[in-house]
Amino acid sequence: MDSQSENKLRIVVADDHPKVIKTVSELLGTEFELVGSAKNGLEAIGAVAQFKPDVLITDIEMPMMDGIRAARHLRRIGCNVNIVFISSSPDPEVASAAMSDHGSGFVLKSRMATDLVQAVREVIVGGQFVSETVHAALAAYQTSLAAGTAGLTLERNCGSAICDAP
């Protein structure tokens, strides 16, 4: 390994669509080093254990184990990798589930070209990032949760796998 790659942030990406992994790799360009990829949450856990990346970029909806469950498992075993979720869904409930003590970033797949690199840069310094088109809806949703006026309908909106108990 040369000294230049030693200074790059190490990234693992998990998505069940090879085209998305390729797009993420292209977007990360030469600034980051893609050290591993996975097709599901189980493989993501293995790749994080093997490659010890600085950031895991993971889809939420994947077969076998979704990204949120993988993140829960990583946190449960004490892994502090920075996690950026990517999703096709702009639903604030999905974003809230992803961000609540699991992730530091939430990027819509439709906004990866403009948001992904910025999200990685933000989470690596301890910040959080949410795609702009979801940010306001997420804030309103979290306010309604705090006020007790929002019902949790994740199972209806995005499948029961995301709603599994922590």
The ranges assigned to domains in the chain are 3-163
Predicted confidence at residue 64, as pLDDT, reads 93
Predicted confidence at residue 155, as pLDDT, reads 40
Which three-class secondary structure state does DSSP give residue 128?
Answer: coil
Mean pLDDT, rounded, of the chain = 83
Residues 128-163 pLDDT 10s: 999 987 856 565 555 665 666 555 444 434 444 443
Task: Give the global pTM.
Answer: 0.81
- Token pair for 69: 């469950």
Select from 3.40.50.2300, 1.20.120.450, 3.40.120.10, 3.10.20.600 the CATH code of 3-163. Answer: 3.40.50.2300
State how far the Cα of 78 lies from the Cα of 89, in Å rounded to an integer: 28
Residues 73-115 pLDDT 10s: 999 999 999 999 999 988 878 888 888 867 899 999 999 999 9
Buried b (16+ CB within 10 A) or exposed e, 133-155: ebeebbeebbeebeeeebeeebe
Predicted confidence at residue 123, as pLDDT, reads 96
Ramachandran sector of residue 29 (left: φ over 0; alpha: ψ -120 to 50; beta: rest): left
Q: Contact, 130 vs 99, CB < 8 A?
A: yes
Predicted confidence at residue 6, as pLDDT, reads 65
pLDDT band at 1 (very low <50, low <70, confident <90, very high): very low
